[in-house]
Structure 1
Amino acid sequence: ERSFFFSFQPENHPGNCWPFPGSQGHVFIKLSVPVIPRAVTMDHVSGATFRRESISRAPKDFAVYVSDFSRGMKEEHEEQGTFLGQFTFLAALNPTQTFQLKEELSGFVNYLRLQVLSNWGHPDYTCLYRFRVHGDPPKDRGKVSV
């Protein structure tokens, strides 16, 4: 399995994504500042570029976990971390959607795991364009989206 570092960028132009093979995959996300996560936003290609062929490559069902990556998660089969919620991204409805996390955390986290469980039908790959985490940072920073 390959290691890959990718920075999600604010531009979601066609092709400016992280493609992974098949309809399932995961990515560990290192936050720029530690937060108590409250919500996440998934973005896909928007505007005139948002066509049926693009929708099939969008994530459909996904789950979010507090990752144990920072403590040295080494194996794929190890526990995925603390479950924060499972959601369905309705790509044809709106290319930008925000989901409130179901689990309230009391502590700050540095890493999340985004687990894509399915896409909208593309047999070969799935494209992640942008994924944002919204939460409460340490008191000296104010609310942030990272």
Structure 2
Amino acid sequence: MDSVSKSTLIKLPPSLASSPSKSSFSFSTPKPFIHNSYSDLKNIWAPTAIKKDKMDFLSCFFISTFIFFLGSLSSMIFVHWFIADTPSLIPPVREVLQPIIIKEIQEDSLDTYINYASISNKAEIISEFSTAEYHGALSWFSNNRRESALSDDNSLGNCWAFAGNQGQLAIQLGYEIYPEQFFMRHVNIVDYVTAPKQFKVWSTETSTESNKCSLLGIYSFDLRIKGEKRKAWELFKCKNSCDIAISGILLEIDSNYGGNNTCVYQFGLHGRPK
């Protein structure tokens, strides 16, 4: 009894205390289990948590792999059974590329010839025999000067503009040329009412002393829709006096497509130097 602390002794009721045995009982309060530190809990739970994360990762990996292979297999079956038996659904490569190739050749075909009516090849405007610009003297502050028709800059709005539908442009060439063909360009193919329609090309001959002018041809610049694409330019073969070297040409425009003024983006000459 002396070894047991007084705080742990429990007194019995009088009825029990007066029992013949005259015994006394003592109980000690059990000591609860207490972790020493946070590291104990970590050591207990960490292995289980890590194992669970590994299981979740592996499950996601296998599910994703299965879905990927299932999709690949479905695509192969679709191609084999549906598209392979209907080749018309897949046009040949040549049919797809041919319009693109033809378009590139058409757009670049003008560049395969030397334009002798270009300012870059020493061609000049003869002002006294040319129709005045639409804005008169103010045209020097715009892109509508006569020189624009001889420029390689064909950006929208950069054209020789004049009032009405009839006018002429006299061009002094930098070289004596045997004319072979001409070209007319109009960039705005959506709204082409100001584009030239009927025109003539005259030459100034230098092989004779009389400097006789000759009609090289009468042409029509056709901008109507043909097929799926309206043309932005057209080539015109020389028709008359093509075997005589010339040093100048005169572009005479007789009509346009209904506009109140006319706009010539570019006029060019291809030929052989003398």
TM-score by length of 2: 0.41
Deviations 1:80-134 (A, max 9, x none): 92111111001234111000011133331111000001000002x1001101101
Q: Distance in 2 between matches of 1:63 and 1:2?
A: 18
1:32 to 151, 167, 174: 174
> Within 2, Cα distance between the matches of 1:51 and 1:2?
26
**Relative to structure 1, is the Cα distance of residues 111 and 50 closer, same or farther in structure 2, using a 3 angstrom cutoff?**
same
Superposed counterparts of 1:1-146, under 5 Å: 2=132, 6-7=147-148, 8-45=150-187, 49-52=188-191, 55-67=192-204, 81-92=213-224, 93-123=230-260, 125-138=261-274
AA at the equivalent of 2:189 = F
In terms of fraction of residues, the more helix-rich structure is: 2
Report the Cα offset of residue 2 of structure 1.
4.6
Q: How many residues align?
A: 121
For 1:84, the aligned partner's letter is L
Select the structure of larger CA radius of gyration.
Answer: 2
More strand by share: 1
User: Whole-Å Cα distance in 2 between the matches of residues 2 and 128 of structure 1?
Assistant: 13
CA distance in 2, matches of 1:19, 1:2: 9
- Asked if structure 1 preserves the Cα contact closer than 8 Å seen for 2:214 and 2:241, the reply is no
Instruction: Structure 2 unaligned segments of length 5 or more: list them.
Output: 1-130, 134-144, 206-211, 225-229
Contact 2:183 2:235 in 1 (8 A): yes
* Identity between Structure 1 and Structure 2 (%): 31
The range that moved more, 90-99 or 19-28, is 90-99
> 1:13 Cα shift?
1.5
Distance 1:2 1:60, change over 3 A: closer
**Letter aligned with residue 269 of structure 2:** V
Task: Indicate the structure whose relative CO is greater, using CA pairs within 8 Å and at least 6 residues apart.
Answer: 1
Cα distance between partner residues in 1 of 2:174 and 2:252: 20
Call closer, same or farther: CA 1:116–1:107 in 2, change over 3 Å: same
| C-alpha deviation, 1:5, in angstroms | 5.5
Report the RMSD for the aligned CA atoms in angstroms: 2.2
Distance 1:50 1:106 in 2: 34
Structure 2 residue matching 1:6: 3-state secondary structure: helix
Q: Distance in 1 between matches of 2:189 and 2:243?
A: 38
Alpha carbons of structure 1 residues 63 and 51: separation in structure 2 relative to 1, 3 Å = same
Inter-partner Cα distance in structure 1 for 2:132 and 2:270: 28
CA pair 50-90 structure 1, distance change in 2 beyond 3 A: same
